[in-house]
Each structure stands twice: as structure tokens, then as C-alpha cells.
A and B are shown apart, each in its own frame.
Chain A
């Protein structure tokens, strides 16, 4: 969009939106520590994430039908300076992260009070804001090294957040430690890959990288970079067999942390992977096409089945949901490995839809955890009768996880199968529907336990408080809403998929403000 020079002053506030998205939550973190007051910390976080959400909504409405916003940090023009670059693809992910980040906070207040050492409450909110900033940063930035920086910000904050679960269960410490080791390996691989790319091309700007790779062609350095980047990100996304950190981390982290991470953390890394797979490298490279078809697609299918089968045999609700998350990553990867715009659209829509679905389910698990401690199936048996509102919302989430029509999950499944048909690969679509039967089994297992099994030993429990139920039901309604009204998700994802697949030199260059 072109901006008249005369309007420059009037529009300057709007021009700064991209940087505000990052700076506001980033500044909030140290501010919280300095103030040292729990209530104030919560309020500040809520306001900061709320502002980010508002900005994300503005941006995604603006970019839904196409276009790019490029923001130059400090007025340094790319490729020398760092560029924030927003198009429909990351606008959708930014929207997901900021909306989950906001909606988790009211829920977190109660859950933090009971699950985290009172001395660490302000620290929790500070880390939460850092994690939030990091994830937003990963997605918004157009600079490869900057991705690494934000990845580390979010990861370091996450290790602390997971470890805070130790107040309730000491095993959170080993979970955080495992995650720390594997996460660091992942980040290191990623930065090595970036190093190779810099060596080969002399640039870190993503657009520039894409152009130079496509113009200079392949060499061994660029291929090696590809390998390191994919494996590094694979660790962060938890693609099987690089998933070992995830179930433990999700099970033992404080509930609010699990809700936030399950919906956003793997999705942000997934976005970066898609960016590298489709925009920076391009599937027209034979080696990449082979990698995708020979490595990714079988891995995706194996993940779909194996993780779901493992989920069926879990007896702890949080662990079950964690394995189900790994299984869903299989769907995301499968959509991408179909290598057509429809498959990519399905992946992007599913990132969003699964984000809200899984956040909803983990919220439910967190509420139950507050009542009974450990959410093993024995402990939660029969709670559906005494906590009807919590359980009903979880049923909505479960149905969306299965992909029953009328829920968000159905839309993504439909698109995925349709994408497989578009390639003429009916075998793949058969595998998708068969694997979703597995989700029927693990979802129905907990629904039966909530409603039909005889009451647990601990007796009946009272319904959760409004501050936890309202965020949960907002997500439940979102699950239903996006099952019917797909304009926002599908519309944005279609534009996004085309953006990702378009060749680098045809990328539309639009500049909005130079930050000076």
C-alpha cells in the first residue's frame, strides 16, 4: 500500500505497529520483575498481550487478501538492517499466538496461585512475557539470525516455566532438563545451518537469502545448511523421532504453561520450517523434493499412527493429550509434504485450529488437575457429572480433535483429504481417515471416563471458578465458530500458501514506514 508523504505524521502510529507487537511485551517482562507485585504483574501481562492481540487482528485483517508489510528496524534498510516482514502467513500465526497468549492469562491466575511457589509468581509472569515475545518474534522477523535470537529467548523462558512445575511434582525438573538439552541441540543445529547459509550467500535476510539461493543454485554448503536447519527445527517441532522431550514437558509443566506451549510453541517452529522449505529453499530443487517425499512423508504418516496409538494406551490425561499433539504434528507435516498449495493451506489452517483445540483440552485438564492433583484416569473418573461445564467444554474440544463436522478440526481434516485427492493420492487420504479413527478411540476413552465411569475415590468436586471457565468456553466457542465460519482461517491460509509457494523474485515488495 502506498502512503502519501503528507499523511506521514498522521499514520506514523499505525506504521509502527509491527515493532510495537514485539517491544510492548518485551518491555513488560523486566517491568514486572521491577515492580515485584503479583496482581500488578498479572494485570500488566494481560494488558500487554491484549495490545498485541489487537495489533495482530488489525494486521491480519489488513493482510488477509494479500500484500506484505515490511518494517525496517532503526531505519536500516534490509538486507543490512533487520527487517520485520509480515504477510498473510505469519499474520495468521501471530494471531494464534497472541490470542492464546491473552486468553490463557485469566485462566493462569488461579492455576499459578496453586501450582507455583508463591515466591516465584512475578518471575512466572516475567518468563511468560519473554516466552510470548520470543514466539511472536520468531514469526514476525524476516532475518535468519534474528529467528535464532528469538528462538533462544522463548526457549530459555520455556525451560524456566516448565521447571516451575516442580512445586507440585519434582519430576518437572527432569522434564525441564531434558527439554533444555534437546532444545539446545536443536537451536545449535539451527544456528549452524544459518551459518552455512551465511557462508554461501553472505546474507541473513530471508528474502535476500531466497533470491541468492535460487540465482546461484545449489552447492554442498547450501545443502548442508538445509540438513542442519531441518533437523534443528524438527527437534523444536517434536517430529517423531525427535519428540522425546515433549510428553514429559507437557505433562509436568504448570497447567497454564502447557496450555500456552501446546497451542503455540511447536506452531511457531513449524512456521519457520515451512518458510525454509517453501520460500527460502524451493521444492523445485530435486534434492528437496526427494527429502520431502522420502523422509518427510513417511515420517508424517508414521507420526500420525504411532503417536496416536501410544496416546490410546495412556492413563494420564495430560500425557494422552501430549501424545495426541505429536500425532497432530504428523498431519501438519503431511499437508506440507503434499507440496501443493491446497496441502499447505490445510497445514496452516490446522496449525490454527489445532492450536485452539489443544489449548481448550489442556485447559480442561488443568482445571481437573486443580481439583484432584494428578489427572490420571482413575482420579478424574466421574467428574463429568459434578463439573458439567468443564467437562462439556472438553467434549467440544474432543470432538474438534476427532474432526466431527461443525468443529474447527473438521475443516482442517476436510482440506487435508481434499489436498491428497488433488494430487490423486487416494491412498494418503485413506490413511488420514483411518488414523483419525485412532483419535476417536483416545478421545472417547476420556469422555467415557468423565461421564460413565463410577465416581473416583476422592468424591465429587465443585465446578471450577468463572475466571477459568470463561477462557475455556471462549476457546470452545472458537472451536465451533471456526467450524462454520472459515472466512478468516481459510481465506488467510489460502493467501498464505500462495505467498509461501511463490518464487522469490516475484515477491511483492511493499514498504510501510521505515521506523525512523
Chain B
């Protein structure tokens, strides 16, 4: 009989086994990659065991040791974290398969090192998911930044080095200057940093200072890519596509907004935020971020950068959800973490598949490719529909809940923002599909050599896109699962 604690530890430590495997087996390629896949399956299995055993709620926290007074390294199951862990570890399996296809298809250098750092990043994500207090979360948050830096700089050419510098500079800089200050300030006020339902700050801080503290968190969590601190995300697109797909569409960015939601719900407490009105400014900033990033996305010709700006925009939905500070919006934000993940990872995988086959990276070069690579482009279309929020795809629910949240709080203009954003989504995603199928290529000659992407490149994308469809029908389950989180009744 395995206890919950053991299963949690297994989920967190399993990716480290993957690092070991990549170091030991670095020269026997097939064995190495199968071993890492096995590790990813076992990680997902461990998270799933946690899910079965706990049902999303655990009373006892698993405290490893105390680092500073009242600050310990501790883990605990909690619905939102568990959902995130399931999504991240589940998609890791897909991305690893895709990564094998991509890295081999492109003959990338230093693959063992690449996969080892990938495992380290997943380790950090698992730690973030199960962290029982903000101190533990911060530790893993920084490990995630540092472990993804070598992945972004992987190619080693001047472009990726400077991209990686921006990446590290913004993420590490914001976390040190704002987040750390915010943490220590909170600790000085409250005396601990545990995640407690209903928040810990109520009554401990002058209400006038609350917006400032919230600002330290909102800008300190740079991974949430709130404008104007979003530039690291497009910069990170120099990384190989599996990194962009799993880390910069799912794990890293979702770790950011996940932290944002956790801070909103368990540190500030949504009731306290709502009463004090401290988050009003953040609502508007998030709204601006949603619209502006979509407009930037429209202007990008590079496919991955366009998707990156789309991510910036979509991440602000979650920040908006936190700032609205109602249970309904928090639910929408939590659900958006899962729904957006499946759609966006599929889009990135398609972009990577196109690159592997054609070496093309710009939207303007995609004319006519749809007829040569129909599967890839159909998957791209399905995932786009989910991102836009069209039924019957999973992406429609979080938007619906967010609109309900906006109605609850009386921010009717936010509804307009969400609608405009959906239209902009249509404007920057669907033309890509249209161009692929309906526009004739100018240089018709080289199209003859182009064929469908390799199986390992499109199958994972197809599974992710298929899940978008499924999630539309099973969203109720997720909603029930997240209910204790949104209502703060754990």
C-alpha cells in the first residue's frame, strides 16, 4: 500500500531519475530515449496515483525539513496543483515522443544534455505543483528558470545566446527584485508563508499598502508574462520547438499563472482582495495585456513568435481571473490552465512539424503547404478553434466562466475585452490555416519534395488536439474537481 506522501515524492523525484538515465546512457541513443519515456510514464503514473489516493484533497502536509523559522520545504496535495501536475506530466509523455522525432529529424547536437535539462525542468514543475507554501514554491520556481536557460540557449549561436540572456535576465531579475521582496515582506508581516484557504494577509497589512504588495507579486511572477514584462517569452522562441511546446506553452508559463492564482487564493484570499479592491488596477493591466499581446501577435510573421504573443495574451486571462477575485473567475482561471495547455501545445507541435519537413519558420512562407501536409494543418485548425474558444472545444469553457465572473463583479467592459480578444484570435490564427490550404505557393517547384511530417511529429499533436474536443464534454468533471479550490474551502 502506497501512501499519498510516497506518491508525491515519487512524482517529484522521478524526473531526477531521468537525468541520471540521460547521463549514464548518453551514448546509446535508443535506450536513452526509451528510458526517458519510461520515466515520463512513471511520473504521470505517480501523479495519477496521488489523484486516486487523495481525490484532490489532503489534510496532512508532507514536511521534509525546516530551512528558516516557519519556512519549511513541504508538499501538499491541492486541487489546482494536482490538475496542473496531471496536465504537465501527461503532456510530458507526448512531448517526449515528439521531442525524439524533432531532435532526430533536425539532427540537433547534444541531445542527452537537452533531455537531461528537460527532466530537470519537469522536476521543478512537479515541485511547484505540490508546494505547500510559497517558500517551497519559490525554490522550485527558480530551479525552473535556471534549468530552462540551457534549453533556450541550446543552439549556442549568437541569436539564441542573446535570446537566453533576455529570458534569464527578466525571469531571474523580476523574481529577485519583486517576488523575493514581496515574500520577505509577507513573511515579516505574517510570520509564515503557508498556503492557507482564505489567505493569510487579512488583517495583517494596511489596506493602502495592499496594491503595492500585490504589484510585487504580479510583476515578480515574471513567468506569468504580464505586460510590460513579457518580452522573455518571444525571446525564448529561439529554443528547439519541443521546449517551446511543453515549457513555453505549458510548464513554465503555466507555472507562472498557477503561482499567480495560488497567491491570489491562498496568500491574499479572494474575499480579502474583493473587499479591499486592491486588485482593480490589475484587472485593467491584464485587460490591456490581453488586447495588446493579441495585436502584437497579428504583426508577427515568424510563426513561433506569433504563437508566443498569443500565449502572452492567453496567460493574462488567468491573471485577469485572479484579479477579478470571485470564485467563478478563479474557477475559470484554473480551468484555463488546463484547456489552453492542450490547444497551445498542439499548435507548437504543428509549427515544429512544419519546420522539420520544410525548414520554414515564417507565416508568409506557408502558402500551399496545407495540401501537402493535410494532417498537420487540420490539427492546427482544431487547436486554433479551441484557443479561440469555439464550441465544441475545451477552450470555450474558461472564457464562459470568466465572462460570468466579470458579470458577478460588474465589470461589463471586461466582457467586451474578452470578445475583442476572441476576434483577434480568429484574425491571427485562422489565416495561417487558410494560407496553407487556399493560397497558391509562388515558388511552386520545391513543394514537390514536401510530404507529411513524420509520425512522431504529428501523432502527439493529434492526441493533444483530440483531447481539446474531449475536454469540452468532460469539463464538468474538472469543475467539480476544482470547486474546493475556487471556493477556498479546503
Contacts and interface: CB of A to CB of B under 8 A. Distances in A.
Given A433-B176, A433-B180, A421 B185 contact: yes
Given A418-B187, A433-B176, A440-B176, A406 B181 contact: no
B161 A418 contact: no
Given A405-B139, A440-B173, A452-B156, A422 B65 contact: no
B86 to A, nearest CB: 26
A485 interface: yes
A269 to B, nearest CB: 28
B172 interface: yes
A405 B138 contact: yes
Given A440-B173, A452-B153, A411 B67 contact: yes
B68 A433 contact: no
B1 interface: no
Given A418-B184, A418-B187, A421-B188, A437 B177 contact: yes
A35 to B, nearest CB: 45
Given A405-B138, A411-B68, A485-B65, A429 B156 contact: no
B177 A434 contact: yes
Interface string A421-439: 1100010011001101100
Interface in A116-159: none
A451 B143 CA distance: 19
Number of contact residues on B: which range applies?
A: 20 to 34
Nearest to A440: B172
A434 B176 CA distance: 8
Interface in B53-77: 65, 67-68, 73
Contacts of A399: 146
Given A405-B138, A411-B67, A433-B176, A484 B188 contact: no
A452 B155 CA distance: 9
Contacts of B168: 440, 444
A490 interface: yes
Nearest to B139: A405
B142 interface: yes
A54 interface: no
A413 B73 CA distance: 18
Contacts of B150: 451
A448 B161 contact: yes
Contacts of A486: 67-68
Interface residues of A, number: 31
Interface in A481-507: 483-486, 490
Contacts, number: 66
B188 A404 contact: no
Contacts of A161: none
A417 B173 contact: no
A490 B139 CA distance: 19
B184 A406 contact: no
A287 interface: no
A448 B153 CA distance: 10
Contacts of B173: 437, 440
A484 B177 contact: no
A433 B181 contact: yes
Contact of A430 (B67, B143, B181, B187): B181
Interface string B434-459: 00000000000000000000000000
B171 to A, nearest CB: 11
Contact of B161 (A413, A429, A452, A484): A452
A414 interface: yes
A486 B153 CA distance: 34
Contacts of A437: 173, 176-177
Contacts of A418: 184, 187-188
B142 A404 contact: yes
Interface in A46-100: none
Contacts of A452: 153, 156, 161
B161 A406 contact: no
Contacts of A451: 150
Contact of A422 (B138, B176, B188): B188
A429 B184 contact: yes
Given A406-B142, A421-B185, A426-B185, A436 B176 contact: yes
B416 to A, nearest CB: 38
Secondary structure class of chain A's binding surface, majority of residues:
helix
Interface in B179-195: 180-181, 184-185, 187-188
A262 to B, nearest CB: 24
Interface string B144-174: 0010001001001000010001001100110
A406 B65 contact: no
Contacts of B143: 406
Interface string A448-489: 100110000000000000000000000000000001111000
A426 B178 CA distance: 12
Nearest to A430: B181
B146 A417 contact: no
A426 B182 CA distance: 11
A486 to B, nearest CB: 6
A490 B69 CA distance: 10
A440 to B, nearest CB: 6
Interface string A23-34: 000000000000
Contacts of B172: 402, 440
B184 A414 contact: yes
Q: Identify the interface centre among B65, B150, B172, B181: most chain A CB within 10 Å of its CB.
A: B181
A439 B165 CA distance: 14
Contacts of A421: 184-185, 188
Contacts of B161: 448, 452
B184 A417 contact: yes
A484 B73 contact: yes
A413 B161 CA distance: 29
B122 to A, nearest CB: 17
Given A406-B142, A422-B188, A452-B161, A429 B176 contact: no
Contacts of B169: 440
Contact of B139 (A406, A413, A433): A406
A404 B146 contact: yes
Interface in A364-415: 399, 402-406, 411, 413-415
Given A433-B176, A437-B173, A484-B67, A405 B181 contact: no
A127 to B, nearest CB: 40
A478 to B, nearest CB: 15
B456 to A, nearest CB: 29
A233 B383 CA distance: 68
Q: Identify the interface centre among B68, B138, B169: most chain A CB within 10 Å of its CB.
A: B68
Contacts of A434: 177
Contact of B181 (A411, A417, A444, A448): A417
A414 B180 CA distance: 8
A440 B65 CA distance: 28
Q: Identify the interface centre among B65, B153, B180: most chain A CB within 10 Å of its CB.
A: B180
Given A406-B143, A444-B168, A452-B153, A417 B180 contact: yes
Nearest to A420: B184
A421 B190 CA distance: 13
B68 to A, nearest CB: 6
B181 A490 contact: no
Contacts of B188: 418, 421-422
Q: Identify the interface centre among A406, A411, A437, A451: most chain B CB within 10 Å of its CB.
A: A406
23 contacts: A402-B172, A403-B176, A406-B142, A411-B67, A414-B68, A414-B180, A414-B184, A415-B68, A417-B180, A417-B181, A418-B187, A422-B188, A426-B185, A433-B181, A434-B177, A437-B177, A440-B168, A440-B169, A440-B172, A451-B150, A484-B65, A486-B67, A486-B68
Which 6 interchain pairs have the tightest Cβ spacing?
Answer: A421-B188, A405-B139, A433-B177, A417-B184, A405-B142, A418-B184
Given A406-B143, A414-B68, A440-B168, 7 more contacts: A415-B68, A417-B180, A421-B185, A422-B188, A433-B180, A437-B177, A448-B165
Interface of A: 399, 402-406, 411, 413-415, 417-418, 421-422, 426, 429-430, 433-434, 436-437, 440, 444, 448, 451-452, 483-486, 490
